[in-house]
Structure 1
């Protein structure tokens, strides 16, 4: 008959530590993401591009984030050429506006945005004050602000892009002050203030992407490709 001490010892040997559980969860997540990547890699060019953009801009599609920035290059499946071929269709299908930054012969950065959410973001007093300090006039329209941002992108990736992406002013200022170091949290951006608020936002963004991933998987894994992007964009 086992003593309590022996039973406790066996229990301890068979019990997963928190770290082991976490690693197991990571393995599941990695497996699901790998399956997702393999799935979309088999899609026709147009559907592949739309799936990539939908996943990358999911928080913006859901109107939880004013804009999302993506970079398309000629590496891999050459998203640069696919973007140039199908970009006129993308905005309509995903109900997103966009503007290109720093376009070169082999790469381009594209800011996808929801007009209402982006205007509300940049016209907040603290955001407007910051933009004013770096050369954006108080009476500039959204189009004028985006045009100014595009000009500045020709020389360098300007710090104020964080404002347009919905990053809190305190974190933009913190990033500048500490030169990207000493953040207390790092995910969609480097956090220097109010980490609990940031975590809540990051969880919403992650859920938006997960919903998109599942929608793509549910449709495409059975070969149903027609009108997919329209269907799940509307569903969100």
Structure 2
């Protein structure tokens, strides 16, 4: 494995382990794409992950940095189909009567706008009550801070945070030992 591939796998393991493992709806990753080699790397990993039931979706790019959403499509579909999540996305103008792909395209357009779309937390699997609390309080007055700011159900969030950390630690240890993601996550047929 080339040093660039190894660095990308380390970055994926650190930032996206819960979504790679399927215990979280999605994760975000910002990656610097340097010329043709960087574009080839993203294309390679989009194909490799796709063969394992994982999607690498480009949300946008600016000044050589690419914002990626990493997710298992069925997991994200199920998450976005929850009534409270759909209701909140509908209020934010998302085409909830269409498929996940249409909602992701809408999110991509929102990211290109001037104001950051904090409802992105819904795509990442953050509890709707916590997304509402963040939007209401502007990120202040949270009860717990971890992968997201918690406003509701602190105990459940703390359990999820611990599971995410265990998942990240296990995956980064494997990658650090030289085990490629292609061996960690088998191809699906």
TM over 0.5: yes
Task: Give the number of the structure whose residues are more often helix, by fraction.
Answer: 1
Provide the residue aligned with 1:110 in structure 2: 68
Structure 1: which 5+ runs fail to align?
Answer: 1-42, 74-78, 221-227
1:210 to 156, 159, 169: 169
TM-score by length of 1: 0.72
Q: CA deviation at 1:80?
A: 4.9
Measured on the aligned residues, the alpha-carbon RMSD in Å equals: 2.0
Higher RCO (CA-CA < 8 Å; seq separation 6+): 2
Larger Rg: 1
Retained in 1: the 8 A contact 2:9–2:175?
Answer: no
**TM alignment of 1:82-97, pairs within 5 A:** 83-94=38-49, 95=52, 96-97=54-55
Provide the residue aligned with 2:86 in structure 1: 128
1:176-230, Cα deviation, whole Å (9 max, x unpaired): 111100111000000000000001111111011101121123337xxxxxxx221
1:147-204, Cα deviation, whole Å (9 max, x unpaired): 0000000013202100000000000000011110011100000000000000111111
Q: CA deviation at 1:112?
A: 1.0
Say how many residue pairs are matched. 182
Task: Give the number of the structure whose residues are more often strand, by fraction.
Answer: 2
Provide the residue aligned with 2:6 in structure 1: 47
TM-score by length of 2: 0.88
